[in-house]
């Protein structure tokens, strides 16, 4: 009976043993690129808690080392939960091995393999320069395209707009202009703009610069607005679009008031254009070779009178040659306009 009691007591103190058992494979995260850091999870385990975990990293062939990585090789000294990929890993696949231990035993399980490790693409390198789109005129917005780049992921980009001379040289950074877009201001008129794009990753940085824009022009006035003759240049031209005679007939020894309006080919009235009027034939209307600038309304006015040489025979009309020009330009070229008009005689 004593022996029976001892057996019963021993049986009452015994417990079932439950060593670690993997129920969910470890997972490796991180980019399979030289220089990147991989991190392994522990996976899911059953058994008597608590568990402690140790780690190994395995270098496998391109097949992943066979079923559960049986053909993979231990990477010496790599026993942490993270692993930084080296040049030796390029062309291989990597697994983690998680070793779980509790009071009842130890078990291990390998992760799935990564994709094949690629060589480090290195610092950013520009392969196609940045470009600028938009109309190069005051009050318009320019937009930068960063161009094409290579390099290890991920690359971040910053922008800096530069104001340059008319040839795209002697550039200086525009304060605060660090967005991918830039609104052209009056200070930009007569200059060109470039944009610098800087690419940066964990390996370094590089900067590329766009070609210059065309020379920035003033904002275009609304059609019908008055502009200065200085704002008219080819391919835009002057146009003599209106004229009037008062009275509407030229009489012997009579006087004639003439108003002539000048616009440009963009439908703006032009102030400061030099308007010339001459009777044809010469000398029959005075003063001869008269020239006046247009005023703020785009008109030039002339007070003419018939000379004693005015002939009334053979025609009931008298012709005038009109010309509008820009000071300093050749009257036979540039933006000059010409027109032949006539008034009734008698």
- Work out the pLDDT band at 188, boundaries 50, 70, 90: very high
pLDDT single digits (tens) 252-265: 888 999 999 999 99
DSSP 214: P
What is the rounded CA–CA span in Å between residue 92 and residue 94? 7
**CATH architecture designation of domain 226-345:** Sandwich (2.60)
Task: Examine the pLDDT at 12 and tell me if it is beyond 90.
Answer: no
pLDDT single digits (tens) 210-252: 999 999 998 878 888 999 999 999 999 999 999 999 999 998 8
Alpha-helical segments (H) within the chain: 2-13
CATH, domain range 125-209? 2.60.40.2700
pLDDT single digits (tens) 40-83: 999 999 999 999 999 999 999 999 998 888 889 999 999 999 99
pLDDT at position 15: 65
Q: Are 234 and 191 in contact (CB under 8 A)?
A: no
Is this prediction's pTM over 0.95?
A: no
Q: Using DSSP bridges, classify how beta strands 93-102 and 82-84 pair: parallel, antiparallel or unpaired.
A: unpaired
Domain 21-110 -> CATH class = mainly beta
For Cα atoms 101, 106, 112, give the angle at the middle one, nearest 5 degrees.
90
Report the share of the chain in percent with pLDDT over 90: 77
> Is 226-345 the same fold as 21-110?
yes
Sequence spans of domains, the chain: 21-110, 125-209, 226-345
Please give the average per-residue pLDDT across 284-289, as a whole number: 90
Reference 250, options 197, 199, 202, 311; nearest CA is: 311
């Amino acid at each position: 009976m004593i022996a029976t009691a001892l057996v019963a007591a021993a049986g009452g103190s015994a417990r079932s043993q439950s060593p670690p058992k993997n129920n969910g494979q470890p997972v490796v995260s991180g980019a399979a690129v030289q220089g990147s850091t991989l991190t392994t999870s522990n996976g899911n385990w059953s058994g008597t808690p608590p568990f402690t975990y140790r780690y190994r990293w395995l270098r496998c062939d391109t097949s992943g080392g066979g079923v559960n990585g049986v053909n993979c090789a231990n990477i010496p000294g790599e026993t942490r939960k993270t692993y930084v990929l080296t040049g030796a890993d390029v062309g291989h696949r990597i697994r983690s091995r998680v070793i779980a231990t509790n009071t009842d035993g130890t078990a291990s399980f390998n992760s799935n393999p990564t994709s094949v490790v690629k060589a480090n693409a290195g610092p950013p390198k520009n392969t196609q320069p940045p470009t600028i789109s938009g109309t190069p005129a005051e009050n318009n917005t320019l937009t930068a395209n960063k161009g094409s780049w290579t390099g290890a992921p991920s690359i971040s980009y910053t922008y800096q707009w530069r104001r340059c001379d008319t040839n795209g040289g002697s550039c200086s950074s525009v304060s605060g202009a660090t967005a991918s877009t830039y609104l052209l201001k009056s200070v930009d008129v007569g200059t060109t703009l470039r944009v610098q794009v800087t690419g940066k990753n964990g390996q370094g940085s590089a900067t590329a610069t766009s070609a210059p824009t065309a020379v920035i022009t003033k904002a275009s006035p609304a059609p019908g607005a008055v502009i200065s003759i200085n704002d008219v240049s080819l391919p835009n031209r002057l146009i003599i679009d209106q004229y009037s005679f008062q009275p509407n007939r030229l009489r012997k020894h009579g006087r004639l008031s003439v108003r002539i309006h000048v616009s440009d080919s963009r439908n703006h009235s032009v102030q400061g254009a030099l308007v010339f009027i001459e009777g044809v034939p010469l000398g029959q209307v005075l003063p001869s070779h008269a020239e006046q600038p247009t005023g703020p309304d785009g008109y030039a006015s002339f007070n003419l009178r018939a000379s004693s040489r005015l002939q009334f025979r053979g025609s009931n009309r008298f012709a005038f040659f009109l010309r509008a020009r820009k000071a300093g330009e050749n009257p036979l070229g540039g933006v000059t306009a010409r027109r032949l008009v006539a008034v009734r005689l008698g």
